[in-house]
Chains A and B, each alone.
Chain A
């Protein structure tokens, strides 16, 4: 069976997903054409990418620039709890922390979103009522993505019904690695439709994609399919977010906007634990994609322990002396 896909037919009237942007209108016309397009993307020089992030990692960010970076990073955090043992109580306490990350300091900005499993999205929504903090829910059989399309779509609809503003979906890595790109594409398009007005973040799970070339292909695939954000990882696989992977994804969103005019956000998730890591990511964003992405609308950190380290560094800047783990909440 050949997959003949007319993007405008697939995303018919009433859909929020428009036809594929102009220069790429026909790349999904067949499995072969799509594969040819994705494999035709320029290859990634892995050594070069690693060197580039190493050099950018040595940037020294101090004093007022550091204060700005810390506050910006806090406002970009998707405060995440994705444990089997999550309870409504835990989600409510996380929501309280999201509103006022540092109870001692009203000047501390709130985080961007709270990220939970779909069944707890309603609890999070209620706890965050009256704020601008978004509720993000993971869906589509997170974290493995191994379920039928019908189950995945039901999962998404349920989370949206509970009030989730953002949906974090996982791609079918099995299909992607087997080269069935059109299957992955169609699935993202279908999920995007099921999202309605909710923003869609597409998790590539780069730890399972093995090469940076595959990361670039997956990024383009997700953006073409209508993802509003591309996200590195579920956080359940190691390695999760690494700087070279983030570099490749930032290049992808930059090139995509240049080609189509549509801006897509990036969310590294998992393994970012220290302020230093976060600042390195911000430097990478500024130097790769540009300052347009330095906003919570276009760049997020999926993290839980990162926020505490950011708060400790913030307290250090405010008080002049080092703080300790006794001075932030235990999540």
Chain B
């Protein structure tokens, strides 16, 4: 047995393509399912959330303007890098969620498959959700799905990787940029996902990962006038209704919190893609 000292890790946020500490300087201890120390994580503050929204807004033009094909390629590349770090993901999922390593490995595989699945959707959305409309005149009428904008995501609290990928994937596939508040007690797979995103081709600011407390940061994101939509998947039950109410003040799209955290292995269909897309209809004269 080696007497090497353990390297204790203090993780940081993933914000605007960089890894800053929380503006507040706060950290908290992350433990495994049995209560043993795993690592320190940054506890994001409302100002980190504000900075994240600025970064996400700045990245929106480029990401939403990229061709659907290009977005698909970039997201597929993320899945490739995830595959290379599957062992690390599995270890973190097993420790955090207290499941066997074989079950954790299956979760990771499902998460990577889910990411690939959403990567494939990018250039099919317009065909499936858009339409050529019948009109009574010498015009064409088209309806096209367009990204909503900056989406705040409160990630699921229990499923730390598959759940996270299942809520983040659809937001990105549609061309939105995201500010994600990760699972409070199980943030490590999200931190690693941040490292994956930073080393793949996703432009900085498209995904911003805030480790910390959804109950603390959620209200600021729900009220923020520059956030266009919010996914309440991981909002604690008593808070969810409150967040919906404050989101109404700025007319956000709200994806409501499920009564209970769903089984993320189920086929999600388009249920999480559609809420973060706006339909734009255009008329075009028929050339004669």
Which A residues contact B (CB, under 8 angstroms)? 320-327
Contact = CB atoms under 8 A, between A and B. Distances in A.
Interface stretch (B115-123, B156-164, B221-229): B221-229
B250 to A, nearest CB: 8
A325 B246 CA distance: 19
Nearest to B49: A322
A322 B223 contact: yes
Interface string B212-253: 000000001001111100000000000000000010011000
B50 interface: yes
Nearest to B222: A321
Contacts of A327: 225
Contacts of A324: 53, 57, 224-227
Contacts of B246: 321
Nearest to B50: A322
Interface of A is mostly: loop
A257 B226 CA distance: 46
A160 to B, nearest CB: 42
B4 to A, nearest CB: 39
A322 B249 contact: no
A323 B227 CA distance: 9
A320 B220 CA distance: 9
Contacts of A323: 225-226
28 contacts: A320-B223, A321-B220, A321-B223, A321-B224, A321-B225, A321-B246, A321-B249, A321-B250, A322-B50, A322-B53, A322-B220, A322-B223, A322-B224, A322-B225, A322-B226, A323-B225, A323-B226, A324-B53, A324-B57, A324-B224, A324-B225, A324-B226, A324-B227, A325-B57, A325-B226, A326-B225, A326-B226, A327-B225
Nearest to B223: A321
B214 to A, nearest CB: 17
Q: Which of B223, B225, B250 has the most CB of A within 10 A?
A: B225
A257 B272 CA distance: 66
A323 B50 CA distance: 10
A324 B53 CA distance: 9
A327 B224 CA distance: 12
B246 to A, nearest CB: 8
Contacts of A326: 225-226
Q: Which of B53, B227, B250 has the most CB of A within 10 A?
A: B250
B2 to A, nearest CB: 43
A179 B226 CA distance: 52
A325 B50 CA distance: 13
The 3 A-B residue pairs with the shortest CB-CB distance in the complex, in nearest-first order: A324-B226, A321-B223, A322-B224
A325 B56 CA distance: 13
A322 B223 CA distance: 7
Given A321-B246, A324-B225, 7 more contacts: A320-B223, A321-B250, A322-B50, A322-B224, A324-B57, A325-B226, A326-B226
B244 to A, nearest CB: 15
B223 to A, nearest CB: 4
A321 B230 CA distance: 15
Nearest to A324: B226
A327 to B, nearest CB: 6
Contacts of A322: 50, 53, 220, 223-226
A197 to B, nearest CB: 44
Nearest to B246: A321
A314 to B, nearest CB: 13
A179 B105 CA distance: 73
Interface in B12-52: 50
A68 to B, nearest CB: 20
